[in-house]
Amino acid sequence: MNKEFKSDVSPCAVTEEELSLINKLTVKELTAEEVYTFNVILCDNEVDRDCERFDIAALEKLAELFVGVTGIFDHNPGSGNQTARIFEAKTEKIAGKITSCGDEYVCVKAKAYMPRTNKNADLITEIEAGIKKEVSVSCAVSKFTCSVCGENMRHGNCNHVKGKTYGNGMCHCILSDVTDAYEWSFVAIPAQVNAGVTKGYKKFESTENLIKSVKEGRCVKFTYEQAEELCDYITRLESEAQDGRLYRKALTDEAVKFALIAVPSLDNESVRKMCSSVETAELMKLRDAFKQKASEVIPLNPQLKAKKEKPIVNNNEYKF
């Protein structure tokens, strides 16, 4: 998942202690004049626009995992897109600031560095000018707890809807049990002011693609509109399936009838079992074959069928 937000990115002077931390990540030892460092808030415990938030334990784990993680642009994983690296991260409480849930505001504040090169000169200028300010973290989370009932919102029995108010509070998802931190990115569009966050996910283009993902065993998440579309799709399939079952039953009955006429030694149960093991198209061919064979044994049209007489057209018997 990606968590994007408007962050406080600001330049900072590097100390000897910080330079020592930076050089643990470099191949060649750099001097203070060769590096540019800046602060960045990666994520926090505020409820985001997708009605999700990290708990404190998740933030502490992210602070630990993000040390040494590279910074890129727009989550583009190409190696040529790497621009900075985090050398220090920690959770920090902002005195007097309270989240919408009434908790003390906590964020993950990190320090990143990049070499002072001609290539990075424009980026450094943009950071100092406040242009490059929004960032997004990419991480793995294994637990998604409903704030209302405490059940797993992705894999449990929770029926609550994020963003809907229940009782005295709005339902949201609590993200916890962080397992990995992949990268952090500069992004163009912030989701929230003051370290607001949003989670991006792949939008499925069609119901068929959604079903394909489920068949492949991938965990999927879809919107309320997609859920409605999927329910309608399932309802249509159920109706068509019922029609198909009725048609196949009638087809099987015909095939059995003609089979027993054509081959009297067969029994009803054996023929029905044979019919159930073939596709509908093959069952139609089987029915037609038995029908043709049955017509050779017993005429399918009655022998005493009344002959059609020609209609009277001259009306002579009615003339004087």
Average pLDDT, the chain: 81
175 in a domain, yes or no?
Answer: yes
- Count of other CB atoms within 10 angstroms of residue 216: 8
Q: Using 50, 70 and 90 to split pLDDT, how confident is the model at 209?
A: low
Same domain, yes or no: 193 and 231: no
45 in a domain, yes or no?
Answer: yes
Same domain, yes or no: 127 and 232: no
Q: Is the confidence at residue 216, as pLDDT, over 60?
A: yes
The answer to whether residues 153 and 160 touch, using CB atoms and an 8 Å cutoff, is yes
Same domain, yes or no: 12 and 100: yes
Higher pLDDT, 156 or 56: 56
Mean pLDDT across the stretch 58-63?
Answer: 94
Q: Using 50, 70 and 90 to split pLDDT, how confident is the model at 135?
A: confident
Higher pLDDT, 229 or 34: 34
Mean pLDDT across the stretch 200-206?
Answer: 44
pLDDT of residue 203: 43
Distances (CA, A) of 62 to 36, 57, 66: 23, 9, 6
Same domain, yes or no: 43 and 110: yes
H or E element: which one contains 238? Answer: helix 224-262
Same domain, yes or no: 104 and 171: yes
**No. of H helices and E strands in the chain?**
7, 12
Q: Is the confidence at residue 171, as pLDDT, over 90?
A: yes
Q: Can you read off the two tokens belonging to residue 281? A: 């198209």
Q: Which domain holds residue 267?
A: 226-297
Higher pLDDT, 277 or 214: 277
Specify the DSSP class assigned to residue 111: E
276 in a domain, yes or no?
Answer: yes
Query: Which tens digits make up the pLDDT trace of 64-113?
Result: 999 999 998 888 877 778 889 999 999 999 888 899 888 999 999 999 99
Mean pLDDT across the stretch 152-173?
Answer: 87
Identity of the residue numbered 51: C
Same domain, yes or no: 117 and 265: no
116 in a domain, yes or no?
Answer: yes
114 in a domain, yes or no?
Answer: yes
Same domain, yes or no: 68 and 106: yes
220 in a domain, yes or no?
Answer: no
Q: Using 50, 70 and 90 to split pLDDT, how confident is the model at 172?
A: very high
How far is Cα 84 from Cα 86, in angstroms, rounded to an integer?
Answer: 7
Q: Is the confidence at residue 205, as pLDDT, over 60?
A: no
- Count of other CB atoms within 10 angstroms of residue 121: 11
- Total domain count, the chain: 2
Q: 165, 186, 201: which is the final residue of a domain?
A: 201
How far is Cα 13 from Cα 284, in angstroms, rounded to an integer?
Answer: 82
Global model pTM greater than 0.75: no
Same domain, yes or no: 25 and 153: yes
Distances (CA, A) of 250 to 173, 258, 267, 271, 283: 51, 13, 18, 14, 11
Identity of the residue numbered 33: E
Q: Using 50, 70 and 90 to split pLDDT, how confident is the model at 204?
A: very low
Q: Can you read off the two tokens belonging to residue 197? A: 């966050």
pLDDT of residue 133: 83
Same domain, yes or no: 36 and 109: yes
57 in a domain, yes or no?
Answer: yes
Same domain, yes or no: 42 and 75: yes
Same domain, yes or no: 230 and 196: no
Distances (CA, A) of 63 to 41, 104, 153, 283: 10, 18, 25, 64
Q: 186, 201, 216: which is the final residue of a domain?
A: 201
The answer to whether residues 293 and 258 touch, using CB atoms and an 8 Å cutoff, is yes
Residue with tokens 């399936």: 241
The answer to whether residues 190 and 184 touch, using CB atoms and an 8 Å cutoff, is no
21 in a domain, yes or no?
Answer: yes
pLDDT of residue 190: 42
Same domain, yes or no: 167 and 46: yes
Q: 201, 216, 243: which is the final residue of a domain?
A: 201
